[in-house]
Structure 1
Amino acid sequence: MSGRPWPDTRPGPLGAFGAWWRRRRDLGRVEDFTYAVPQSSHQQEFETPLPSAVYGLDFRVKFTVVYRLDLHTGLRHHAPRSAAINSIVQRARAISSQAMLVHHAPLQHQLGAELAEEQQVPETHVWARAEQVKISVDEGDLEMARKHIELLRNSTVRHAERELERAEIRYLRDEVLTDVGTATIWWLQRNGYEVERAVQLAGELQELVRIARHTSDPHWAESLVSSFERALPRLDDGHRRDLRQHLAKALGVYGGSSVAAEFADQVGLPAAEQHMNGNSPHV
């Protein structure tokens, strides 16, 4: 009997052996272990041109691609580095192709923010992001971009002026010089209601009305547009221009590029507008 003041509860030889055996048995259970597959991370510097919104004028971008391999996905790619770089380049191209070259400074921050988000390369076990994004532009290309913007601005102003002139002509032809009475009232309103002077000009106003209403042998393009505009009298100037563009496109599809070009020339539609949104006439 033990000399301790409390009962001896230590296991005997058989009990100790049984406890040891249970510990050894439990160590062999696979489900008691959680195996974490290591994830490898890599970096690769890369430099490439990126397209801008103007064909032929490119940004120059340099960045560090950071990618890792996630072996939990069950997917594999035999060239993970190329997959990561290609993914970053495609993401960058989608953004840069909407920007003008003169906006290279804010574009650098936009790319830095967008590409810093880690994304999985589709159908692969590769996750990629980019760091240290730097954009540069060639000074010659930058000067060409500025000239391109200036040309676009001048073209827009000239086109607006022509549209204003056409609107004024349509107004005089379709609403003022329709008859002598309307023309006389229009003249009075513009000239301080000098009635006596208007009476003296009655013959000249009548001649103007006759000239304005002379419609012998109109060009087929003008007749086509006039027919649509008479059918849709509430169209504003913007919709009238859209109508001409749609007609030019339809004529290009069914009549060929020469017919579309003749139509555009007769109705004052700039040739560039025939190719708006990449829609060019097909022969």
Structure 2
Amino acid sequence: MSSAQKTVSVFMALISAMLVLILGLYTGWPAWAWPLTVILLGAAWAGVTFATLRTNRGRPLSETVTAPPVPEVERRELPVEDIALPSALADYDFLFSATIRWCPEKPYAQETGTHHGGLALQAIVERAGAVTLAHQPLRSSLIQQELSGALAEMLPDRGGRIRAMALDVVLRLSEDDQRRLDRLAAIRKDEELWEHERKQEKSKRDYLGHDVLQNTGRAVVWWLARNDEKVERTVNDIGLLAQLTSAANNEQVAEPFRHLVPGAAVEEAAEVVRDPADLFTEFMRQMGFKPGDDACVMVADQVARAIKDKDADTAEEIRTRFAPPEESPEESREESADLSPDQGTVGEEGGDGGDGTEE
């Protein structure tokens, strides 16, 4: 008899004795019935035990005690390395490494043909991808901490067959992608810096062009404020400020400040002396003459003849400006000579007239 059978026999004997005791007390047995009941009960159990031993005699132990088969223990940890996970930036994937741990959702359920490790890997990759897809691949170390927390709990998979978690999580980028992102970050920083500098420069130009140098008066007030209200120095610099204002607005120096600009009056006088043809042209325009008209050509030719001995270049310039488009200056001069009265002709006409009178 095995130890298990002995234990069962003793247990059943105790239960039987308790039942007989309860029955005797309830029915009020006489004193002589108690020893007889105990003898009968012991004999009955002795017979049962003897019959059991006789039945199992000669049988091997493996036949008398059948132990349940020990199920094959499935390894419940799986290391994975460099699994690509998507990021919020296209074509830039994270590389995920970790140790995946799992357990069956129902430990005593018999599931044949199921690879729990594959289910655990699928569940962890899905959970990790949902986290990384919401982040830019710029700070992988920070995202790694968030991912470690998200995968640190045993959670069931979609089919409810296993629970899985991940340990020793490592999240990184490939060397090529990291190098590209570093270059893009450097370029982006340079562009932002250049944009700020451009805006600052444009702001200065707008301030100077549309406010400070809008006119000479504004420039003088600005210069006075910049020089701690040094009036004498500001007064001495009014000519320079007038020049700056005129240059900024692409115009000549205003008349009230022209005398403060060194050499301005001399240049204006030289310009008048240097361009007499322009003065004559303006005179003809104000008088209503139009270039090409017969009267205009005649007047211009007479003026050119008058000043030819003093300034041949100016005379030629005047004759050229007012000559008809289809005629050259020489033809215009010859035509004017033919049309103008000649002193010899007048004498001849007078002589003829005199002769006629005398006759």
TM-score band (shorter)? 0.3 to 0.5
TM-score when normalising by structure 1: 0.45
- Identify the structure with bigger relative contact order (alpha carbons < 8 Å, sequence gap 6+): 1
TM-score (structure 2 length as normaliser) = 0.37
Q: Which has the larger radius of gyration?
A: 2
